[in-house]
Structure 1
Amino acid sequence: MKIKRIYLPIALSLALAIGLLMGSFLNFPVEKRGMISSSNKSKLNKLIDFIEREYVDDIDTDSIVDITVNSILEKLDPHSIYIAKNEMDEVSQSMKGDFVGIGVNFYMYKDSVAVIKPIPGGPSERAGIKAGDRILFADNSKLFGRKMTNDTLFSKLKGEEGSKVTLTVFRKSENRKFKVNVTRDVVPIKSVDAAVMADSNTGYIKVNRFAETTADEFHRSLINLKAQGATSLIVDLRDNGGGYLEKAVEIADEFLKDGQLIVMTKNKKNREDRTYATKKGDFESGKLYVLINENSASASEILAGAIQDNDRGVIVGRRSFGKGLVQREMPLGDGSAVRLTVARYYTPSGRSIQRSYDHGGEEYFNDFEKRYESGELYSADSIKIADTLKFKTAKGRIVYGGGGIIPDRFVPQEGKHGDEAVTMVMQSGIVSYFVFEQLDKDRNGFKGMQNSQMITDKVMTGDKYFDAFSGYLAKNGLVFHLNKHKERVKHYLAAEFTRQLLSEKAYYQMVLKEDNMVKAVLTEKK
């Protein structure tokens, strides 16, 4: 099997990736204004008309317009982007909290749609679909033995709410083929990956993005953890690239007291809007820790900045991405849109955390390499601080602007300098695929294992799965020297077996025990 991408976590295999380009944006329509005529606009329109009417060869003028729009936006800032009409559904779907479909996590394995796991409570689980099943046909559409794009595959499985699809399924564990009717239904795309107890009185909530349903998901998780005895809370914003600004504000309101400033925005006309906390917070006291890293951006930074500047909690981890711009989505009338930067945001102390983009988008988005080379991922002393951009928190602590949120407690990247690739691989989708294929060979060998300890004992005893994983990586062109990381690799493998056999909750309860940032919080708490 050839794996082209190795970074898609199983938990998000049905969600659409949200990159840093999405950033923070305002979730309300743009005001309608009259078009301003200008000679430059006329010139551009005439050029397109000339090409369409007179150019010697047939040209897709839509593609020319797309190129032109992208070229214009590249002159602005790295977060002003064009969304072509054929991409709009994907982009819109990624920020919704649900979609209509059959409800399975799957991937293409040996040209077959292999079910990694049906979504709990979803249409497929209700219809009796199990992990390891192959979906051969959707109605009369053949889904195996052919190269099929994800878009085509999704179109066969998604549909109107309440519509039915007849799936032809092969169940390897029983060596039988059968048909099952599945009624498509609303399937949630969670933006809260996990809400579990990290110890007897510390709750942990992992937020992967700020979408339409994030604040509601977060609130339910918070109430549930409080009911379990959580008097301290860890909010994990690592690798969260942002989303709707107002959802970050709603979550900040859970922690801040009435009247405390959350965020300020300023637009082109220097109009300043300030957003304050209300009385409705459900965790306004109790210890609070926010985890961030170099991929925590935009709305994540708004939330972290509000907590830090109001001295409400402790920011733990590594310097965040550094995006202080706000976008608004503006339709172009043909199904496409631009997401245009319309304001800058400032944390309550008045600082902008936007990094410089003077040297172009490529260098801007490759900042990770500079941080790696400087040693910043491993030493707080290597963080470059803008001494001229000093600000004070509510209690007078010094914080800095100009390049992300600098944590109050620095925690280096896992492993030693040079081990980054191993960490990335162990947190990538390739681990999910490997574990699925191991289970596919011997699902009965794990039958009856009802708790994570039983699974861990089986996976971590001896080197059977460690050796198989090393060979699996090599087979897919990924050569790593894993022996010095053996116990860590085996722990990640055991956690992924636990996720696929038991639940997402059981997975996080395992991985948090070895998570350096979480361990740093729990140690400090004591």
Structure 2
Amino acid sequence: MNKNTKIILPLFITVVFVGGILLGNLLNFQDNSFSGSSPKRQKLNRLISFIDKEYVDEVNTDSIVDLTVTSILENLDPHSAYISKQEYDYVQDNMRGDFVGIGISFYTIKDTIAVIRTLEKGPGEQAGLEAGDRILYADAIPLFGNNMSSDSITELLKGPANSKVNLKVKRLGENDLMNFEINRGLVPLKSVDAGYMLNDTLGYVKINRFAESTYSEFKAKLEEFATPEMKSVILDLRNNGGGFLKQATLILDEFIADGKLLLFTKNKNGDLKETYATDFGSYEDQNLYVFIDEKSASASEIVAGAIQDNDRGTIIGRRSFGKGLVQREMNLGDGSAVRLTVARYYTPTGRSIQRPYEQGNTEAYYSSYMERYTNGELLSKDSITTDDSLRYETPKGKVVYGGGGIIPDIFVSRNASQDIQDIKFMYEGGVMDRFIFNLLDEDRAFYNALSESEFLERRLITEAVLDRFTRYLGDYDLNYNFGSSSYYLKKHLEATMAKQLFGSDLAEKISNENDPYINRLLRSEKSLAKD
């Protein structure tokens, strides 16, 4: 496998995940049209019962049912999906925005659990756990050894709210094991990565998905950093695969005036459901900029489309993914669920941004997406194909198009340098994390004692560290000569270190230095504000 393939393959997996993100309300959907007397249901029941009783070999009929459901959904559209019982809890935690546990992220290093960092305000942080701690026992059960999977360890550390877990921990520099009694509690899974003032008048908020807690996180973050002098806001929705429709519309309501249409949905019967802005917006007078890219999907596209169609702000970046289908969740009664496409959504001008798909041909659907990486679209706006039959105009006469994602008002090309793309993938995909963890482990007392200002002043990613990272990649048969891209590599290694030591706010600040989107905006902000 060559180096480019190694980069593209994980990206494709990411896109598959993005395509399956839930958009809509979670409902315990009940419908009697598929009742026990239905001939269709009897047909399936008879077949499964016949296999269970008569098939010559032992067979797991539960797995046959799973396969049947998956096969049915694969023949509908690319975004209807089956969620197995094993996957369901993880998916629910991710979309709820919190889970019950002790609040740590960890690696398994040489068969031992090592704390990467404690999550802010989580039970682990409050109890005194630190990055670099090795957790050896939970309630006297050994967590070390080759027989413990990450899933098994996670199950031991999670538990009912307010329940206790007793940990024995080895801390570097301490001779004896340390004992921690931790009350499990709600641990936030942040959907707002960062928020800060880029300069005296320009605020910045990065949202990684739209979970149940996103709007409250968003409001709290803005109230935390916004100043009276803030005249403009950036919503960074790059790499945001979507999530809950309600959270997207609540955020839109903060910026769009009362009575303006935000979106509408249409089901198979042609029934329309329209969503309008209310008079609760706190930021309707600020200039607004929305960053999107080819991995911005679903709820992210709702936000960008509503902003664009209402002439409310400026969309900056590259054409978004193109998902305009609404899913509703139905619990199947055994811990698994189905998310079924039940409607399409439309932007205020009436355009659907769903990319074309052929029923039952999911592979072709994602293959057409991957062509963006080879047909020049990510490098030049002129390479984006549009259909004049899907041409629309905003109230101020701006031309916009349906049929496959939101096309930005200002185009920012993907950097053509393969080295820079590889560095970005290593940063976003976690390749740098283990290297930085090992580096911090060499002197935990020093690194854990640093303040943010001391960390920034010291510039700890030196040329020697860059050389070590290159050799580290070589140990995994990844051979690079970063050359002129070394500045970019240094910034992302520094951001990775900042994230492990201080969290995502500082990491985003560092990784955003010389960001092409921000630079493009800053060059043209005065003229955009006048428009």
Supply the distance in 1 between the matched residues of 2:47 and 2:349 (Cα, whole angstroms): 49
- Superposed CA deviations along residues 244-265 of structure 1, whole A, max 9, x for unmatched, are 1111111111111111000110
User: Contact conserved, 2:105 with 2:115, CA < 8 A, in 1?
Assistant: yes
SS of the counterpart of 1:167?
Answer: strand
Comparing 274-283 and 514-523, the one that deviates more: 514-523
Supply the distance in 1 between the matched residues of 2:64 and 2:323 (Cα, whole angstroms): 30
Supply the distance in 1 between the matched residues of 2:105 and 2:457 (Cα, whole angstroms): 23
* Paired position in structure 1 for 2:379: 378
- Superposed CA deviations along residues 256-276 of structure 1, whole A, max 9, x for unmatched, are 111100011000111011110
* Paired position in structure 2 for 1:269: 269
How far off is 1:121 after superposition? 2.2
How far off is 1:26 after superposition? 2.3
* Paired position in structure 1 for 2:73: 73
Comparing 202-211 and 478-487, the one that deviates more: 478-487
Q: 1:456 to 1:428 in 2, by over 3 A?
A: farther
User: Contact conserved, 2:432 with 2:496, CA < 8 A, in 1?
Assistant: yes
SS of the counterpart of 2:88?
Answer: helix
- Superposed CA deviations along residues 8-31 of structure 1, whole A, max 9, x for unmatched, are xxxxxxxxx964312413233324
* Paired position in structure 1 for 2:111: 111
Matched AA of 2:473: L
Share of identical aligned residues, percent? 47
* Paired position in structure 2 for 1:439: 440
* Paired position in structure 1 for 2:200: 200
Q: 1:22 to 1:43 in 2, by over 3 A?
A: same
TM-score (norm 1): 0.93
Matches within 5 A, 1:179-198: 179-198=179-198
Supply the distance in 2 between the matched residues of 1:147 and 1:208 (Cα, whole angstroms): 34
How far off is 1:449 after superposition? 3.4
Comparing 211-220 and 414-423, the one that deviates more: 414-423
Comparing 408-417 and 213-222, the one that deviates more: 408-417
* Paired position in structure 2 for 1:11: none
1:306 and 2:306 are equivalent in the alignment: yes
1:505 and 2:496 are equivalent in the alignment: no
- Superposed CA deviations along residues 352-407 of structure 1, whole A, max 9, x for unmatched, are 00001228212322444301111111111111122221011121111000010000
* Paired position in structure 2 for 1:102: 102
Matched AA of 1:117: R
Q: 1:289 to 1:487 in 2, by over 3 A?
A: same
Supply the distance in 2 between the matched residues of 1:483 and 1:74 (Cα, whole angstroms): 45
* Paired position in structure 1 for 2:3: none
Matches within 5 A, 1:242-257: 242-257=242-257
Comparing 221-230 and 335-344, the one that deviates more: 221-230
SS of the counterpart of 1:50?
Answer: helix
How far off is 1:408 after superposition? 0.5
SS of the counterpart of 1:388?
Answer: helix
Matches within 5 A, 1:140-289: 140-227=140-227, 229-289=229-289
* Paired position in structure 2 for 1:363: 364
Matched AA of 1:196: Y
Comparing 371-380 and 321-330, the one that deviates more: 371-380
* Paired position in structure 2 for 1:57: 57
Matched AA of 2:483: N
Matches within 5 A, 1:33-52: 33-36=32-35, 37-52=37-52
Matched AA of 1:40: K
* Paired position in structure 1 for 2:430: 429
SS of the counterpart of 2:513?
Answer: helix
* Paired position in structure 1 for 2:409: 408
Q: 1:124 to 1:145 in 2, by over 3 A?
A: same
* Paired position in structure 1 for 2:488: 488
Matches within 5 A, 1:285-364: 285-358=285-358, 360-364=361-365
User: Contact conserved, 1:98 with 1:188, CA < 8 A, in 2?
Assistant: yes
How far off is 1:222 after superposition? 2.5
Supply the distance in 1 between the matched residues of 2:173 and 2:301 (Cα, whole angstroms): 47
User: Contact conserved, 2:419 with 2:482, CA < 8 A, in 1?
Assistant: no
Comparing 29-38 and 156-165, the one that deviates more: 29-38
- Superposed CA deviations along residues 118-156 of structure 1, whole A, max 9, x for unmatched, are 112221112111111111111111111224322211111
- Unaligned runs of 5+ residues in structure 2 are 1-5, 9-15, 527-531
* Paired position in structure 2 for 1:450: 451
User: Contact conserved, 1:456 with 1:494, CA < 8 A, in 2?
Assistant: no
How far off is 1:83 after superposition? 1.3
User: Contact conserved, 1:6 with 1:429, CA < 8 A, in 2?
Assistant: no
How far off is 1:448 after superposition? 4.8
* Paired position in structure 2 for 1:13: none
* Paired position in structure 2 for 1:10: none
TM-score (norm 2): 0.92
User: Contact conserved, 1:88 with 1:335, CA < 8 A, in 2?
Assistant: yes
SS of the counterpart of 2:226?
Answer: helix
SS of the counterpart of 2:494?
Answer: helix
Supply the distance in 2 between the matched residues of 1:122 and 1:18 (Cα, whole angstroms): 28
Matched AA of 2:403: G
SS of the counterpart of 2:50?
Answer: helix
How far off is 1:447 after superposition? 6.1
Supply the distance in 1 between the matched residues of 2:416 and 2:112 (Cα, whole angstroms): 37
SS of the counterpart of 2:388?
Answer: coil
Supply the distance in 2 between the matched residues of 1:164 and 1:79 (Cα, whole angstroms): 40
Supply the distance in 1 between the matched residues of 2:479 and 2:241 (Cα, whole angstroms): 29
Matched AA of 1:342: V
Supply the distance in 2 between the matched residues of 1:131 and 1:148 (Cα, whole angstroms): 21
Q: How many residue pairs end up in the alignment? A: 513
* Paired position in structure 1 for 2:529: none
RMSD: 2.2
Supply the distance in 1 between the matched residues of 2:88 and 2:483 (Cα, whole angstroms): 45
Supply the distance in 1 between the matched residues of 2:417 and 2:121 (Cα, whole angstroms): 42
User: Contact conserved, 1:455 with 1:494, CA < 8 A, in 2?
Assistant: no
How far off is 1:87 after superposition? 2.0
Supply the distance in 2 between the matched residues of 1:267 and 1:238 (Cα, whole angstroms): 29
How far off is 1:282 after superposition? 1.0
User: Contact conserved, 1:26 with 1:326, CA < 8 A, in 2?
Assistant: no
Supply the distance in 2 between the matched residues of 1:358 and 1:412 (Cα, whole angstroms): 29
User: Contact conserved, 1:459 with 1:493, CA < 8 A, in 2?
Assistant: no
- Superposed CA deviations along residues 66-109 of structure 1, whole A, max 9, x for unmatched, are 11111111110010011122222122111112111111121112
* Paired position in structure 2 for 1:391: 392
User: Contact conserved, 2:197 with 2:226, CA < 8 A, in 1?
Assistant: no
SS of the counterpart of 1:257?
Answer: coil
Supply the distance in 2 between the matched residues of 1:452 and 1:378 (Cα, whole angstroms): 37
Q: 1:271 to 1:78 in 2, by over 3 A?
A: same
Supply the distance in 1 between the matched residues of 2:374 and 2:419 (Cα, whole angstroms): 10
